[in-house]
Structure 1
Amino acid sequence: MIRYKWEPFVKYGHKRLRCKGDTIYSQGEKGEGFYYLSEGVICIRLFSEGGKERIIDYMLEGSIFGEQGVSNEPYTVTAIADTDVVIYYFPTESLKEICSRHPEAKEIFISSQISKLRMLTETYAILNKPFEQQMAHFLIQLCKKHNSQSLPISQIALAQYIGTTRITVYKIIQKWTKKNLVLQSKQKIEVIDIPGMKALLDQ
């Protein structure tokens, strides 16, 4: 688990409070540092060449994000506050200072980068799959991130995840409910059969 391992180093960062809906950084914007999410949830969105927007990840508190910024490269995604958030900004020079004083910080930062690259690779690989398989993939990933099978996500957010309509998501959820794969309540989906969801990915 990488979450919270960066917490000891927040004293080197610049504390920032952002409101729900605020953009932390935008796709294509050149970065000059990275962020640590202390409180709240960050939504990561991707805009395709055709201008279509989709959610590809949620960052939970205790997570590093925006690592591309330390290389002064343009961000490949957009980060938006999904709730009111408390974040810490670390300019590139701060990372160098932290790693100099705390050698273990370098491994934590690199591990976070690797996990993001792996997630993006898996996401791009699933983009052309049927919507049902895309939904199964993203719900499984969210279960891992939250360490819970009860997920605070709406059908509208799921539709943005896979780039389809809420009606398509509704039909898939109804199908899964009949198969006892999930239970749904308002603004929440509970995955009750993880092996069954994984089996959908092999179809």
Structure 2
Amino acid sequence: MIIFQYTYINWENYLEFGIRQFFKEKTVVYKQDTIGDGFYYVHKGLIKVSTSTTKEKDRMLNIVVPGQLLGVQTMDQQVHFTTAVTAKDSILYYFPYKKFKELIRLQPKFLKLFTKTVIQKIHGLAGLINLNSHSAESQIALILLNICYDFKDYEVHLTQKDLVMCTGLTRITIYKILKQWQEENLIEIQSRKLLIKDPDLLKNYVINS
């Protein structure tokens, strides 16, 4: 399993080009098979991304946290192949295609950086497809590593409750896994966040799943 290191963009510098939107907990941001016309930047909150087929129940693909992008796969104005639902009250900035073109016109160098980010984001999402088919340890490791490498920061601002709400795993299961990893010195459990102490060793739970 390949974990990609993402190009970082300080989106705080570009929020004026977006449309600020508030979503209550358990609200659909966009739905699978609907036409997309832009993307979202998550300013606050937590978003669960899933997909579904006619034969199977919804499959979780990813958790999107503040500072990350959402829905970039439909910048070509095609249909969404995922559904995004807020796991808690969230503030998003929506960048419709017209606003994005205005941003590129005013800051041409931004396009190259954004394009690289989108390509890496899609690769990362591809690695998370069928997340539910992995073991519980692998699911949590994939989520933590993708967030960790996205920000090039070992602090992951997720709580055990966040992981329970998004993965569907039980609180006991997540508690046992995180406690084991803490004993193995892979992570450190802090107030409202997890510190990844050894990402390379944590990747073993993905590779060996």
State the TM-score, normalized to the length of structure 2: 0.74
Q: Which residue of 2 aligns with 1:45?
A: 49
Q: Percent identity?
A: 23
Q: Tell me: CA distance 1:55–1:188, structure 2 relative to 1, closer, same or farther (3 Å).
A: farther
- Using the TM superposition, give the Cα deviation of residue 76 of structure 1 relative to its aligned residue in structure 2, in angstroms: 1.9
Q: Determine helix, strand or coil for the equivalent of 1:116.
A: helix
1:117 maps to which of 113, 119, 122: 122
- Listed one character per residue, the Cα deviations across residues 56-114 of structure 1 (whole Å, up to 9, x for unaligned) are 121323x4322233322121222233444433323222223332332123223312311
Distance in 2, matches of 1:86 and 1:134, equals 26
State whether residues 44 and 77 of structure 1, in contact with CA within 8 Å, keep that contact through their aligned partners in structure 2.
Answer: no
Q: Tell me: CA distance 1:121–1:98, structure 2 relative to 1, closer, same or farther (3 Å).
A: same
Q: Which residue of 1 aligns with 2:3?
A: none
Judge which range, 109-118 or 133-142, deviates more: 133-142
Distance in 2, matches of 1:144 and 1:84, equals 25
- Using the TM superposition, give the Cα deviation of residue 127 of structure 1 relative to its aligned residue in structure 2, in angstroms: 5.4
- Using the TM superposition, give the Cα deviation of residue 119 of structure 1 relative to its aligned residue in structure 2, in angstroms: 1.0
**1:201 is aligned to 2:192:** no
Instruction: Name the aligned partner's letter for residue 169 of structure 1.
Output: I
Listed as ranges, the gaps of 5+ residues in structure 2 are 1-6
**1:26 is aligned to 2:36:** no
Higher-Rg structure is 1
Q: Which residue of 1 aligns with 2:144?
A: 139
Distance in 2, matches of 1:150 and 1:119, equals 17
State whether residues 149 and 192 of structure 1, in contact with CA within 8 Å, keep that contact through their aligned partners in structure 2.
Answer: no
**1:60 is aligned to 2:37:** no
Q: Determine helix, strand or coil for the equivalent of 1:34.
A: strand
Instruction: Name the aligned partner's letter for residue 60 of structure 1.
Output: P
State the TM-score, normalized to the length of structure 1: 0.76
Listed as ranges, the gaps of 5+ residues in structure 1 are none
- Using the TM superposition, give the Cα deviation of residue 197 of structure 1 relative to its aligned residue in structure 2, in angstroms: 1.4
Q: Determine helix, strand or coil for the equivalent of 1:81.
A: strand
Q: Tell me: CA distance 1:159–1:198, structure 2 relative to 1, closer, same or farther (3 Å).
A: farther
Identify the structure with bigger relative contact order (alpha carbons < 8 Å, sequence gap 6+).
2
- Aligned-CA RMSD value: 3.1
**1:2 is aligned to 2:24:** no
Q: Determine helix, strand or coil for the equivalent of 1:111.
A: helix
- Using the TM superposition, give the Cα deviation of residue 157 of structure 1 relative to its aligned residue in structure 2, in angstroms: 1.7
Q: Which residue of 1 aligns with 2:185?
A: 180
Judge which range, 177-186 or 44-53, deviates more: 177-186
Instruction: Name the aligned partner's letter for residue 45 of structure 2.
Output: V
Q: Tell me: CA distance 1:64–1:156, structure 2 relative to 1, closer, same or farther (3 Å).
A: closer
Instruction: Name the aligned partner's letter for residue 31 of structure 2.
Output: S
State whether residues 36 and 75 of structure 2, in contact with CA within 8 Å, keep that contact through their aligned partners in structure 1.
Answer: yes
Q: Tell me: CA distance 1:23–1:48, structure 2 relative to 1, closer, same or farther (3 Å).
A: closer
- Using the TM superposition, give the Cα deviation of residue 26 of structure 1 relative to its aligned residue in structure 2, in angstroms: 1.8
Q: Which residue of 1 aligns with 2:160?
A: 154
Q: Which residue of 1 aligns with 2:78?
A: 73
Q: Determine helix, strand or coil for the equivalent of 1:40.
A: strand
State whether residues 59 and 65 of structure 1, in contact with CA within 8 Å, keep that contact through their aligned partners in structure 2.
Answer: no
